């Protein structure tokens, strides 16, 4: 069943906020967030642990965060600084393995199967090197596949690590809450609990046919993930054809106006991601994705050269019209890139 792989998931602790606190030592120990606060539409990109104690979190509108924590210091996003720190951390990873799959500026998968040292030792050394060179802390998860490594990295935060070895997978998964499975949000968890499944062990009693009947294609993923199975390889950098940002909601959306408000936040985060990780890439199309209460999805897209909120609003309305009586559990927005190396399209005056 197990392939002999050793995967590490490294996740920096409150990356943007931690960098800002490092740069502003007088803020150490105080609630700090990074994000926009120039208008009512500003959102937090990240918040440190002191701020999270008050309920502040990423993607929260800044005005709401300030209501929860009036003493919160909100600093502007500094794209180039974070990008440079991410590159320094990437260079540390490269000292251990070439099999690196970045997920964002602050987290990545590493395949260290070829190293003789145990995964836990390698993760500890990587974290120590990161702190030594950047004065930033990282958490790590070690496991025989990507799913388990990512679950593990969240179990001893901040500045800690957790390992799931192959012999322990069955017992670990039996007790794992279903909410830890990718794609299981609040509504899906409630639905599973209503059907008698609170842990992955409970879910393992269901056959793949039953899960598929109840949840469609997602049922197949549930069948394998609740058993700790994940065959995906760590894939080093390759040309990205698209990038998107999406949000699964605790409560399904029933009104278009509410969906448009959620879209505004999603687009702000997408704009940050594009500037941080994909600066210089040319955009060919914009798209909006909806997932309905029955787990079916629909996508609307159009030609584009930049992020235009009005165009995304129109795409959302187009996709929303297909829902019928279904509610919406997820909204995504993204762009498709012009292939790298493609010639510029010339425009001639008419």
Residues annotated catalytic, as ranges: 107
Is 74:56 a contact under the CB 8 Å cutoff? no
Is 150:176 a contact under the CB 8 Å cutoff? no
Could you tell me how many residues make up the chain?
A: 350
Is 177:199 a contact under the CB 8 Å cutoff? yes
Tell me the C-alpha distance between 114 and 110, whole Å: 11
324: left (phi over 0), alpha (psi -120 to 50) or beta: left
Tell me the C-alpha distance between 263 and 88, whole Å: 33
Please write down the HEC assignment for all residues of the chain.
CCCCCCEEEEEECCHHHHHHHHHCHHHCCCCEEEECCCCCCCEEEEECHHHHCCCCCCCCEHHHHHHHCCCCEEECCCHHHHHHHHHHHHHHHHCCCCCEEEEECCEEEEECCCCCCCHHHHHHHHHHHHHHHHCCCEEEEEECCHHHHHHHHCCCCCCCEEECCHHHHHHHHHHCEHHHCCCCCHHHHHHHHHCCCCEHHHHCCCCHHHHHHHHCHHHHHHHHHCCCCCCCCCCCCCCCCEEEEEEEEEEEECCHHHHHHHHHHHHHHHHHHHHHHCCCCCEEEEEEEEEECCCCEEEEEEECCCCCHHHHHHHHHHHHCCCCCCCEEEEEEEEEECCCCCCCCCCCCC
């Amino acid at each position: 069943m197990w392939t002999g792989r050793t995967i590490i998931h490294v996740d920096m602790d409150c990356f943007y906020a931690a960098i800002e606190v490092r740069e502003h030592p007088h803020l150490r120990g105080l609630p700090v967030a990074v994000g926009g606060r120039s208008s009512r539409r500003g959102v937090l990109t990240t918040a440190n642990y002191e701020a999270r104690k008050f309920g502040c979190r990423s993607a929260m509108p800044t005005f709401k965060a300030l209501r929860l924590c009036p003493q919160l210091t909100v600093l502007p996003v500094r794209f180039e600084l974070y990008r440079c720190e991410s590159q320094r951390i990437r260079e540390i990873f490269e000292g251990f393995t070439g099999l690196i799959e970045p997920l964002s500026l602050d987290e990545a998968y590493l395949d260290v199967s070829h190293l003789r040292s145990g995964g836990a030792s390698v993760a500890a050394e990587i974290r120590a090197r990161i702190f030594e060179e950047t004065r930033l802390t990282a958490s790590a998860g070690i496991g025989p596949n990507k799913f388990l490594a990512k679950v593990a990295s969240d179990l001893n935060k901040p500045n800690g690590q957790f390992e799931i070895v192959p012999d322990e997978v069955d017992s670990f998964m039996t007790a794992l809450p279903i909410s830890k499975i990718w794609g299981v949000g609040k509504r899906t968890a409630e639905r599973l609990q209503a059907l008698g499944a609170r842990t992955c062990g409970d879910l393992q009693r269901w056959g793949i046919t039953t899960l598929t009947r109840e949840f469609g294609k997602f049922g197949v993923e549930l069948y394998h993930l609740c058993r700790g199975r994940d065959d995906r390889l760590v894939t080093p950098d390759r040309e990205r054809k698209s990038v998107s940002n999406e949000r699964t909601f605790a409560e399904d959306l029933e009104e278009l106006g509410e969906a448009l408000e959620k879209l505004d936040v999603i687009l702000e985060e997408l704009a940050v991601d594009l500037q941080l990780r994909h600066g210089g890439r040319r955009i060919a199309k914009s798209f909006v994705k909806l997932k309905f209460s029955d787990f079916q999805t629909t996508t609307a897209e159009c030609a584009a050269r930049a992020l235009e909120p009005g165009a995304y609003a129109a795409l959302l309305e187009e996709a929303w019209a297909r829902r019928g009586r279904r509610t919406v559990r997820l909204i995504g927005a993204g762009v498709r890139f012009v292939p790298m190396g493609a010639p510029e399209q010339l425009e001639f005056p008419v």
